[in-house]
Structure 1
Amino acid sequence: MALSSRSAAAIHALTMLARWDDSLTSAEIADSLASNPVLVRRILGSLRDAGLVRSTEGRGGGWTLARPPGEITLYDAYTAVEQGPILTRHAHPPSTTCDVGRHMRALLDAEFREAEQAMEERLGRTTIAHLVQQVLAKGRELAREEGLRAGRV
């Protein structure tokens, strides 16, 4: 597979920006990702080029969403930071003298195209706003569980 962790980091960063609804620095986002701020700035730069985030320089500057979180899909984030097909095709043409090699490229192209279309459709249904709702629900659930544990002790 050609998929890297850039799309996961991009979705994480977008969700943070939507969750806090405030300007965040690349260092703050990198802390949450347990990553390097330079790597995060590269990802944010790609998101900015795609029109998903904007940055402000200077004191109090940082990164903010350029669009409402309900209008940013996971597929938007994916396409902003990933290049090329999701599933890797043959690096070299297979042998045309082999019965399998002669037909495999066309067969895999059809299968891989269908799988990629399914992924695009699925990621296109989920928005950053939806992820923020899930994060908040998980937080409430955890607080409730911790409250129950504390009450039992």
Structure 2
Amino acid sequence: MKISSRFTVAAHMLALISFDDYGNLTSRQIADSVNTNPVVIRRLMIKLKEAEFIDVSQGNSGIELVKPLRDITLFDVYKAVEVVEERELFQIHEDTNIKCVVGANIQMVLEVILENAQTAMESVLKNVTLENIVSKIIEYDKR
């Protein structure tokens, strides 16, 4: 099971936008950095704009952050671009054989464990800001 790449692409986009001092970054330039199609970038830009992280202007003015990096957590980005609902990161198979001891009980056992796993993952994401990410990018670039 994997979370879609929308999450990491959106984080990449926001970090890249933060490096643009002139506010004239285009979806094509972002797509070149991510190595994807500009259409993918534009679709994510809509979600990031709806989340009030960016503003997108037509023409040459480009894309700009409207929220400070320190105020955007990875959890915020995750929620903005993913469609995973609370307690639904993991899908448990249904219609098991209730005449089998495992089939009758596996869903209840796994449900609690997987809810805890989702909560733990979300807790980690809530404690990392995009400012932290950009700082690490700068640190890694100096190596």
Return the letter of the residue paired with 1:68. P
Cα distance in 2 for partners of 1:22, 1:138 equals 23
Look up the match of 2:38: 37
Cα distance in 2 for partners of 1:101, 1:139 equals 51
Look up the match of 1:115: 117
* SS of match in other structure, 2:64: strand
69-78 or 48-57, which moves further after superposition?
Answer: 48-57
Cα distance in 2 for partners of 1:86, 1:53 equals 26
Give the alignment of 1:45-60 within 5 angstroms.
45-58=46-59, 60=60
Cα distance in 1 for partners of 2:9, 2:22 equals 18
Cα distance in 2 for partners of 1:123, 1:35 equals 24
Are the equivalent residues in 2 in contact too, given 1:9–1:33 (CA < 8 A)? yes
* Cα separation, partners in 2 of 1:30 and 1:7, compared to 1, 3 Å: same
Unaligned runs of 5+ in 1: 142-153
Deviations 1:1-21 (A, max 9, x none): 251111010110011112334
Greater radius of gyration (CA): 1
Unaligned runs of 5+ in 2: none
Give the Å deviation of 1:35.
Answer: 0.5
* SS of match in other structure, 1:83: coil
Are the equivalent residues in 2 in contact too, given 1:2–1:87 (CA < 8 A)? no
Number of residue-to-residue matches in the alignment: 139
Q: Which runs of 4+ in 1 moved over 3 A?
A: none
Give the Å deviation of 1:129.
Answer: 0.7
Give the alignment of 1:1-150 within 5 angstroms.
1-23=1-23, 24-58=25-59, 60-84=60-84, 85-90=88-93, 92-141=94-143
Return the letter of the residue paired with 1:64. E
Deviations 1:56-82 (A, max 9, x none): 112x23221120000001111111111
Cα distance in 1 for partners of 2:21, 2:124 equals 25
131-140 or 18-27, which moves further after superposition?
Answer: 18-27
Are the equivalent residues in 2 in contact too, given 1:30–1:40 (CA < 8 A)? yes
* Cα separation, partners in 2 of 1:51 and 1:109, compared to 1, 3 Å: same
* SS of match in other structure, 1:64: strand
Look up the match of 1:146: none
Deviations 1:25-59 (A, max 9, x none): 1111100001000011111111111222121112x
